């Protein structure tokens, strides 16, 4: 099955190639589930971050390719493609794999994935690479699809103060009103982290945003 059948433009058409100056692009993937019922849930923080970045740049993430909604922006000298896979969380890797292939990207240098992290307290943010999925189904899908753990991840803590019995139910339920201010600040911080990675480099961004001892 060719890329066109999978939702990518036919090779040779490549409608975004004219936008790229040197053939390279950075891919920022926010993880989440499509559908209004999931929009403001912990598991959709990745979607919310790329939406925040797009809003700051005055663009909408509405182009469809490779089973994802996408938008293109420029950050410093870097052409950037924002993407929200429409495959649902557990199959995120299939869309990411197609985007990586379409733009001939190297995951270790060209891919940043923004995810929620139930192991971190709400409001915590860490930038990591070369890590296991730690049980995150979206990351597990991407690792399997790309056959590598070597890509940058912005991990955003969503764990509540009190332990929940059903983590999956919590992740798919709307944020509490009392948490919204913290969530809003975390979205701004994550958008800043993406910009820092692209303009200052991953090491500098990690030094800046991973202020507490790594977990």
List the one residue out of 105, 96, 100, 103 whose CA is nearest residue 14: 103
Sign of the alpha-carbon dihedral angle for 37, 39, 44, 46: positive
- Is 43 catalytic? The answer is yes
Backbone φ, ψ for residue 79 (5° rounding):
-70, 135
Selected catalytic residue, list 26, 43, 126, 155 = 43
Catalytic residues: 43
């Amino acid at each position: 099955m060719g890329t066109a059948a999978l939702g990518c433009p036919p090779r040779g058409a490549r409608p975004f190639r004219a936008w790229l100056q040197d053939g390279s692009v950075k891919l920022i993937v926010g993880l989440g589930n499509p559908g209004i019922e999931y929009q403001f849930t912990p598991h959709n923080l990745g979607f919310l971050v790329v939406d925040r970045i797009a809003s700051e740049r005055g663009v909408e993430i509405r182009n469809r390719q490779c089973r994802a909604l996408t938008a293109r922006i420029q950050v410093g000298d870097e052409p950037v493609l924002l993407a929200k896979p429409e495959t649902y969380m557990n199959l995120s890797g299939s869309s990411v794999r197609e985007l990586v292939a379409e733009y001939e990207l190297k995951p270790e240098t060209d891919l940043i994935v923004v995810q929620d992290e139930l192991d971190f307290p709400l409001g915590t943010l860490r930038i990591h690479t070369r890590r296991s999925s730690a049980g995150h189904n979206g990351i597990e899908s991407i690792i399997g699809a790309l056959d590598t753990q070597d890509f940058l991840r912005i991990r955003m803590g969503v764990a509540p103060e009190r332990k929940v019995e059903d983590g999956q139910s919590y992740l798919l339920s709307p944020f509490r009103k009392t948490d919204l201010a913290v969530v809003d600040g975390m979205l701004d911080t994550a958008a800043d982290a993406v910009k820092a990675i692209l303009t200052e480099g991953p090491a500098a961004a990690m030094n800046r945003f991973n202020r507490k001892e790594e977990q």
